[in-house]
Amino acid sequence: MKLSFSAEDELFRKEVAAWLNDNLVGEFTQLKFRGGPGDEHMFPEERKAWEQKLAEGGWTCVGWPKEYGGRGCSIEQQVIFNEEYARCGAPGHVGHIGEGLAGPTIIAFGTEEQKQKYLPGIVAGKELWCQGYSEPGAGSDLANVKTKARFDEEKGKWIINGQKVWTSLAHESDYVFVIARTDPDSVAHKGLGFFLMKMDQPGIEVRGIEQITGTSEFNEVFFDDAECEADDIVGAPGEGWKVAMGLLGFERGVSTLGQQMQFQNELNQVIDIAKENGAYQDPTIRQRIAKAHTELKIMRYNSMRMLSGQGGGDGSLQKEALIYKLFWATWHRSMGELAMDVMGPESEILDGGPYELSRLQSMYLFVRSDTIYGGTNEIQRNIIAERGLGMPKEPRVAAK
């Protein structure tokens, strides 16, 4: 065990910090600490411009292999990049679904042609993606998707019909990846396909959903004879579940460390408020702040363990990775409560009417979703018990 980074990696850290320091200036200054979870609807155009600035410097997709336009960074370097990125308050990546989910999936499962077609747009920070998984009848029970894909021989295309819901950033996105049923008679995991589709087409309609914060980051997406090119199915028809599950593995990677730096920024803000308004003298608040600090630190150590253990394994999640989503989501939810409790009655007062939330107020409301999306806490516990502890699987009522 060794905690320090190599001299070479420390040089890399300086390089990252220097680049960010030189470039996160001028028009981009307003983006500092913006665009994170709960704030994703803010400054989309400006954040896109920032993404392209990053791309010019070669700072998008740093963990991707060089042959696909990435920087080929080691795990350590990705950790460093993410830490420095968050430390200086650089804005939430508007392209994170492409960089973190769509891209890695295409790299792992896509054809050469798909790689050529889609990866450069992601690396350049020009093309944004959204994730079309959930449906009204398929939330936790994702395998219950009803959206259908039928191959039209005449058009030589896949025709998609159905509805997705909770699709984050669909209104800003150029592409969507969709799981849909290629075999209309199939049930559950079988008979699904994984499709890459253009958003800008007559068969797709996006309607925003107003959320708890009064803003809209997610949407309903309707597919009415929407078209998907024959070559844009990833994996074979019927293999969509495998691809979709592979993707979930990419959701817990090195970006977690950047996320933690963001959490640290929030905790620091709360500590400053506590010191200023005297809440720091309250013994229960002291305990809760210390607990938040303890668990955030440990979260970092856990990620370091998770990342050190990678490579070599059979790709199955190690124990420390399996528990990660449940741990951070629960932590962040309590963080929201702590922030409001430290602020006291002042936490009720908005920045302005009609419903202008401050960053912490918005965080407090948004964190209620952390324990829901990407697998609810209850689903995480099922997974941990079943995969981590070998306890019996949930009984499934046979389909009619």
Partner 1 sequence: MDFTFTEEQQMIRDTAESFLTEVSTSEAIRAVMVTDTGYDTDLWTRICTDMYWQAIHIPEDFGGMGLGYVELVAMLEQMGRFLLCSPFFSTVCLGSNALIVAGTEEQKAEYLSQICEGATATLGYTGPSAGQRSGQWGAETIEATAKRDGDNFVLNGTIRYVMDGATSQILVLAARAEGTSGEEGVSLFVLPADTAGVEATWLPTMDQTRKQGEVVLTNASVPASALMGEEGQAWPQLAKIIDLATVASAAEQMGGSQQLLDLTVEYTKERVQFGRPIAGFQAIKHKAADMMTSVEVARSGVYYAACVAQEALEGGEMESELPEAASIAKSYCSDTYFKNAGNSIQMHGGVGFTWEYDPHLYFKRAKSSEHFLGNGAYHRERLAVLLLDGE
Ligand X SMILES: Cc1cc2nc3c(=O)[nH]c(=O)nc-3n(C[C@H](O)[C@H](O)[C@H](O)COP(=O)(O)OP(=O)(O)OC[C@H]3O[C@@H](n4cnc5c(N)ncnc54)[C@H](O)[C@@H]3O)c2cc1C
Task: Give the footprint of ligand X on this chain (CB under 6 A).
Answer: 130-134, 139-140, 166-168, 218, 369, 372-373, 376, 378-379, 382, 394
State which residue, 288 or 325, has the beta carbon closest to ligand X.
325
Residue 140 interacts, among ligand X, partner 1, none and using kind-specific CB cut-offs from 5 to 8 Å, with ligand X
Q: Which candidate, 251, 271, 272, places its Cα nearest to that of 328? A: 251
Residue 1 interacts, among partner 1, ligand X, none and using kind-specific CB cut-offs from 5 to 8 Å, with partner 1
Q: Which candidate, 55, 128, 123, 47, places its Cα nearest to that of 92? A: 47
Q: What would the two tokens of residue 139 be? A: 């939330």
State which residue, 14 or 297, has the beta carbon closest to partner 1.
297
Residue 202 interacts, among ligand X, partner 1, none and using kind-specific CB cut-offs from 5 to 8 Å, with none
Largest CA distance in the chain: 74
Q: How far is the CB of 334 from ligand X (least distance, A)?
A: 17
Residue 45 interacts, among ligand X, partner 1, none and using kind-specific CB cut-offs from 5 to 8 Å, with none
Residue 8 interacts, among partner 1, ligand X, none and using kind-specific CB cut-offs from 5 to 8 Å, with none
Q: How far is the CB of 327 from partner 1 (least distance, A)?
A: 6
Q: Is 227 helix (H, G, I), strand (E, B) or coil?
A: strand
Q: Which candidate, 88, 111, 127, 371, places its Cα nearest to that of 231? A: 111
Q: Which candidate, 297, 258, 295, 290, places its Cα nearest to that of 271? A: 290
Handedness of CA 394, 240, 95, 165 (dihedral sign): negative
Question: Position of tokens 């070998």?
Answer: 390
Paired strand residues for 226 = 160
Cα 214 to chain centroid distance, Å, stands at: 21
CB 216 within 8 A of CB 209: yes
> Which letter does DSSP use for residue 352 in this model?
B
Residue 207 interacts, among ligand X, partner 1, none and using kind-specific CB cut-offs from 5 to 8 Å, with none
Q: How far is the CB of 313 from partner 1 (least distance, A)?
A: 11
Residue 139 interacts, among ligand X, partner 1, none and using kind-specific CB cut-offs from 5 to 8 Å, with ligand X
Q: How far is the CB of 200 from ligand X (least distance, A)?
A: 18
State which residue, 90 or 379, has the beta carbon closest to ligand X.
379
State which residue, 102 or 107, has the beta carbon closest to ligand X.
102
State which residue, 94 or 342, has the beta carbon closest to ligand X.
94
Q: How far is the CB of 106 from ligand X (least distance, A)?
A: 17
Residues that bind partner 1 (CB under 8 A): 1-5, 9, 76, 79, 271, 274-275, 280, 283, 286-287, 289-291, 293-295, 297-299, 301-302, 304-305, 307-309, 319-320, 322-323, 326-327, 378, 380-382, 384-386, 388-392, 394-395
State which residue, 71 or 171, has the beta carbon closest to ligand X.
171
Paired strand residues for 284 = none
Residue nearest to ligand X (CB): 139
State which residue, 114 or 380, has the beta carbon closest to ligand X.
380
Catalytic pick among 46, 220, 229, 251: 251
Residues 6+ apart with CB under 8 A from 331: 263, 292, 295, 296, 299
Q: Which candidate, 252, 117, 236, places its Cα nearest to that of 175? A: 117
CA–CA separation, 68 and 48 (whole Å): 21
Task: Count the neighbouring beta carbons within 10 Å of the beta carbon of residue 303.
Answer: 24
* 103-108 contacts at long range (C-beta below 8 A, 24 or more positions apart): 103/61, 103/64, 103/68, 104/64, 104/247, 104/250, 105/177, 105/194, 105/234, 105/243, 105/246, 105/247, 105/250, 106/196, 106/234, 107/64, 107/65, 107/68, 108/246
Q: How far is the CB of 166 from ligand X (least distance, A)?
A: 3
Q: How far is the CB of 133 from ligand X (least distance, A)?
A: 3
Asked about 210 being catalytic, the answer comes back as no
Active site residues: 251
